[in-house]
A and B are shown apart, each in its own frame.
Chain A
């Protein structure tokens, strides 16, 4: 079966494997309090490898699959742009530096038992990281909300309220809302198309 959507690494417009690797290293070492904002910044804003809509779709797929979201995303993104090698390279870039850093931190912790200074610095970084994530949600929501009104924003608000306000378990919210949303999209394909 032909696979026209999978381009060989290094094809025109596609990032080289080395560029993919370095990009995901930068994403991972910047990613205090979550790597998603940094992945989006790199892929959509700086390298322009994906549009806002394409990023939303790829990340939604990664989130739908079980396991760590950003890790899944690195594989989904890497495989789209460089097949198996691309997936491996993106994953290695994302996981390699944190593995080294966390091991060093664990050794430091075993030596000194207290990481109080690091903890204080982190509390400030986390306050900024929360703001960064909120800003990214706004950017990701733009294509959903600027289009002529349809059902999608209502689904997004329900998912948010279920987890953040009602504090229902995330897997349950997902298990109930996802089939409903897919069913609506199936019945009203015109309103649901992500790309005009």
Chain B
């Protein structure tokens, strides 16, 4: 038993963030395991709802930890969970970026960078594929996706217009 939920929130999310290679979406199953199965902070339904609300909000998907923290301990919980999930990795990123820049011309640094870029690109392509497969439940949604690919690739139109059009179609029940 943890006497203070804030300490448990901090400990779990700080630890999770340091092992979350591949970003927030890759860490969702582990978050579910901790929040629902290990700590019993929330039930399955509440976790699924938190995930849906995090998706509804613009910005990084990692924002789901804010909702879990809020559920456990109100605004203090929200703040603690967010800081725990982002703080350690942000510090790591900061020092890694400085080291990276300092060794700009070192052969090992150039090799690591050259190796990571294509891996990174392949993983982003995979998440685009997964997102499209989840979103394109029917032909109209597929058309929205395809039109967005074309417009975003070959024009300078602000994609927010495409989001607005997609949102309207969704609201009208076509998608």
Given A32-B163, A157-B122, A193-B110: A123 and B141 interface contact (C-beta under 8 Å): yes
Q: In A104-137, which residues have CB < 8 Å from any B CB?
A: 105-106, 109, 115, 117-137
**A-B CB pair tally, cutoff 8 Å:** 387
Q: Which residues of A contact B21 (CB under 8 A)?
A: 64, 66, 170-171, 174-175
CB <8 Å contact, B148 and A66: no
CB <8 Å contact, A124 and B59: no
Return the contact of A133 from the options B22, B119, B128, B168 (Cβ within 8 A): B128
CB <8 Å contact, A28 and B60: yes
Interface size on B, residues (CB 8 A): 96
Q: Which residues of B contact A65 (CB under 8 A)?
A: 89, 92-93, 96
CB <8 Å contact, B60 and A102: no
CB <8 Å contact, A130 and B19: no
Complex: A103 Cα to B61 Cα, angstroms: 14
In the complex, residue of chain A having the shortest beta-carbon distance to the beta carbon of B160: A30
Q: Chain B: interface secondary structure? A: helix
Complex: A59 Cα to B124 Cα, angstroms: 10
- Shortest CB-to-CB span from B142 to chain A, Å, is 8
Interface size on A, residues (CB 8 A): 110
The answer to whether the Cβ of A10 comes within 8 Å of any Cβ in the partner chain is no
Complex: A121 Cα to B167 Cα, angstroms: 4
Q: In B99-136, which residues have CB < 8 Å from any A CB?
A: 100-102, 104, 107-108, 110-132, 134-136
- Shortest CB-to-CB span from B113 to chain A, Å, is 5
Q: Which residue, of B67, B88, B107, B118, has the highest number of chain A Cβ atoms within 10 A?
A: B118
Complex: A56 Cα to B101 Cα, angstroms: 15
Given A133-B128, A171-B22: A138 and B153 interface contact (C-beta under 8 Å): yes
Q: Beyond A34-B61, A106-B53, A177-B119: 12 further Cβ-contacts under 8 Å?
A: A61-B100, A63-B22, A64-B21, A67-B86, A95-B60, A95-B82, A102-B53, A106-B70, A134-B145, A137-B124, A140-B124, A171-B26
